Amino acid sequence: MTKQAVLDQFRAVLNAELASLTRAAHDSFAAATDPDSKAENKYDTRTLEASYVARGQAKRVAELREAVQAFAAMSGNALEPGAAVTVGALVTLETPEELAHYFLGPFAGGTEIVHERQEVVVITPASPLGQKLVGRREGESIALRPGVTARVAAVV
């Protein structure tokens, strides 16, 4: 699993999501401003509801654009051996039951991909797991929850 390949796949997923959401936001805006959606009586709230949806989607499009730009600016180069976990790191955690792969990204927390039959999830430094990982190095352990620890198996 190479960091560049994982980063490229996240970029593709975010760009596809942005394109889809942009189309939906345009459709919502059209529905909210369509003269045919004018309220028929004082209890008809279709136009108001459509405007709320359009506003929410426009905000999400702006957030996603920011994420796409941030991921586009990231380097796919591997970190130096022994480097601490920082934004842009591909981290593998090892528990007694499994290996888990995370990409510490600036945005888009929760975005998932499957790369080489391995699930990789974006986490951010603000997330609980991200807070525990930032600054850790390969070989160090973190507490996932009471009684469960994980070892940082790799930092790329």
Closest CA to 79 of 150, 21, 4: 4
Contact 93, 99 (CB under 8 A): yes
Q: Say whether pLDDT at 102 is over 90.
A: yes
Model confidence band, residue 68 (pLDDT cutoffs 50, 70, 90): very high
Average pLDDT, the chain: 92
Q: Is pLDDT of 90 > 90? A: yes
Q: Dump pLDDT digits (tens) for 116-155.
A: 999 999 999 999 999 999 999 999 999 998 888 999 999 9
Judged against a pLDDT cut of 80, whether residue 59 lies above it is answered with yes
pTM of the shown model: 0.86
Q: How many CB atoms lie within 10 A of CB 99?
A: 12
Stretch 81-88: mean pLDDT: 95
